[in-house]
Amino acid sequence: MSAMITVKNLIKIYKVGSEKVVALNDVSFSIEEGEICCILGTSGSGKSTLLNMLAGLEKPTRGEILIDNQRIEKMNEKRITRFRQKNVGFVFQSYNLLHGITALENVAMPLIFRGVKKKKRDKIAYLMLAMVGLSKRVKHKPTQMSGGQQQRVGIARAFAARPKIVFADEPTGNLDSRTTIEVMELMVTMSRKNKRTLVLVTHDRDIASYADRIIQLKDGEIISDIRKDSKNDEKIITYAVDSHISD
């Protein structure tokens, strides 16, 4: 498999008053096409900053970010916005659905930016909602649905435009344990069925266990990189010193 995401010597430094805070310190790794990867870490570990970097929402202080062999940290705001619309889907902890429109319209939203005509995007949105078990909820608005149902809409929306990568930021943070299992199994199934790269960001090891690979951060550095071996399902551990990609 080829690398869908490659990060080289990524550094992010924030200025807080007269002090400098290092959020990411020389982080390097690659994620293969179709891989389900979890970025695991406690609050302050740098995982949210890393997600923002990968999604092109923030610029690194130094380093390179290649997605599908394109240097996104070099892109201007207009270009990175177009790149996200074409290549990236998002699943959010707080769902981020538009409350004034239906589930069908929420799922169809990314297709509008892709220039898909209404008849076709409504058909795609309906099929996506059916895939997540919500064919009877297409006309419901978010306020008429449970948290788990709203997150299913969010998952359907994330995959609707057939993005190459789906980023999920604490996707089960607002759900109970039973719904968490249902949502995680659904998201993994959708990723595998559509052969999409899925990057999860979480502090929860139970959530991380759904991934093919777990990259753990602490104080802005990779402290472990754990990948399941497809042959015997055992875990191979590579520490940060070995996971850096040379220039």
Q: What is the pLDDT of residues 101-131, one digit of tens each?
A: 999 999 999 999 889 999 999 999 999 999 9
Q: Contact, 113 vs 163, CB < 8 A?
A: no
Could you tell me how many helices (H) and strands (E) the chain has, helices first?
Answer: 8, 11
Q: Which two tokens stand for residue 71?
A: 């240097």
Q: Contact, 211 vs 38, CB < 8 A?
A: yes
Exposed/middle/buried for 64, CB within 10 Å: 0-12, 13-18, 19+?
Answer: middle
pLDDT for residue 96 is more than 60:
yes
Q: Per-residue pLDDT tens for 165-221?
A: 999 999 999 999 999 999 999 999 999 998 999 999 999 999 999 999 999 999 999
Q: Which pLDDT belongs to residue 166?
A: 97
DSSP 97: -
Name residues whose C-beta falls within 8 Å of residue 67's C-beta, 6 or more positions apart in sequence: 4, 5, 54, 83, 87, 164, 165
pLDDT for residue 64 is more than 60:
yes
Domains and their CATH numbers in the chain: 33-61+76-246 (3.40.50.300)
The whole-model pTM stands at 0.89
pLDDT over 70 percentage in the chain? 92
Name residues whose C-beta falls within 8 Å of residue 208's C-beta, 6 or more positions apart in sequence: 38, 40, 200, 202, 214
Q: Which pLDDT belongs to residue 245?
A: 29
Q: Where are the beta strands (DSSP E) in 171-219?
A: 197-202, 213-218
